[in-house]
């Protein structure tokens, strides 16, 4: 039975092999037949495949000899929730705009970390959003996404 570490090593090996294969689809250029665009990545991927295969085999042998798994308990639900919140934030920001997506994202983060409900939950996401807006948009003139449709109109009220 594979444990997390052996599974990770196997995944690295498979990715290396897959990407090694991918390098052969790189465009070839006349005059660069020897040291073309795929030469260096192939070198790296070959080394990575050999080393990760070695790690995988070594780990399997160790587990078969009865080695301890040493796997820590993980708060899987919170971790997956946080990952989903982060990627959701990155994907939705162009549509909802910074001003709407950021407090929602921060609210999700606080709930995932178990912040007691109350004023903190209501005010902190808004406070951080306003602070970031002032620093980045009003002081540093860095443009932040305004969103589309009604969100665009809403954002334009502020920046």
Partner 1 sequence: MLVVAELLLQGLTEVLTPPNLMAITLGVVAGIVLGAFPGLDSTVGAALFIPVTYGMSATQALLLLAALYGGAVYAGQIPAILFRIPGASEAVVTTLDGYAMARKGQAGKALGVGLVTSLLGGLFGVTTLILLAPLLANVALRFGPAEYFALGVLGLTAIAGLSGRSITKAVISALIGLLLATVGIDPITGVARFTFGQSMLLSGVSFIPAVIGLFAVAEVFKQASRPQVVRALDETELRTGRRLRVELPSLGELRRMAGLIARSAVIGAWVGILPGVGATTAAIVGYSQAVRLSREPDKFGTGVPEGLAASETANNAAVGGAMVPLLALGIPGSATTAVMLGAFLMHGLKAGPLFLVQQERLAFTLFVGMGVATLLIFPFALLAVRPFVALLRIPYPMLAAGILAFSAVGARAMGDLYGILMMFCFAVLGYLLERYGFPVAPLVLGLVLGRIVETSLRRALIIAAYDPWMVVSRPITAVLLVLSVLSVAVPAWTRYRTRRAAEK
Euclidean distance between CA atoms 65 and 67, whole angstroms: 6
36, 46 in Cβ contact below 8 A? no
User: Of 76, 78, 108, 74, which Cα lies nearest the Cα of 90?
Assistant: 108
Angle between helices 39-64 and 4-23 (to 10 degrees): 160
**Residues 15-34: x/- map of binding to partner 1 (CB under 8 A)?**
----x--xx--xx-x--x-x
- Residue placing its CB nearer to partner 1 in the complex, 86 or 150: 86
Q: Which residues bind partner 1 (CB under 8 A)?
A: 4-5, 8-9, 12, 19, 22-23, 26-27, 29, 32, 34-41, 44-45, 47-48, 51-52, 54-55, 73-75, 78-79, 82-83, 86-87, 89-91, 93-94, 98, 102, 105-106, 109-110, 112-115, 120, 124-125, 128-129, 132, 135-136, 140-142, 144-145
């Amino acid at each position: 039975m594979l444990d997390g570490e052996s599974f990770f090593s196997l995944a690295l090996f498979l990715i290396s092999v897959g990407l090694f294969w991918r390098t052969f689809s790189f465009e070839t250029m006349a005059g660069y037949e020897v040291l073309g665009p795929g030469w260096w990545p192939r070198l790296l991927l070959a080394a990575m495949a050999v080393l990760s295969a070695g790690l995988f085999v070594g780990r399997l042998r160790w587990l078969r000899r009865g080695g301890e798994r040493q796997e820590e308990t993980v708060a899987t639900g919170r971790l997956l929730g946080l990952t989903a919140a982060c990627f959701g934030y990155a994907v939705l920001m162009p549509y909802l705009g910074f001003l709407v997506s950021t407090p929602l994202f921060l609210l999700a983060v606080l709930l995932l970390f178990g912040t007691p409900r109350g004023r903190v939950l209501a005010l902190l996401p808004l406070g951080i959003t306003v602070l970031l807006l002032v620093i980045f948009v009003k002081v540093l003139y860095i443009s932040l996404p305004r969103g589309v449709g009604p969100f665009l109109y809403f954002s334009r009220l502020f920046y």
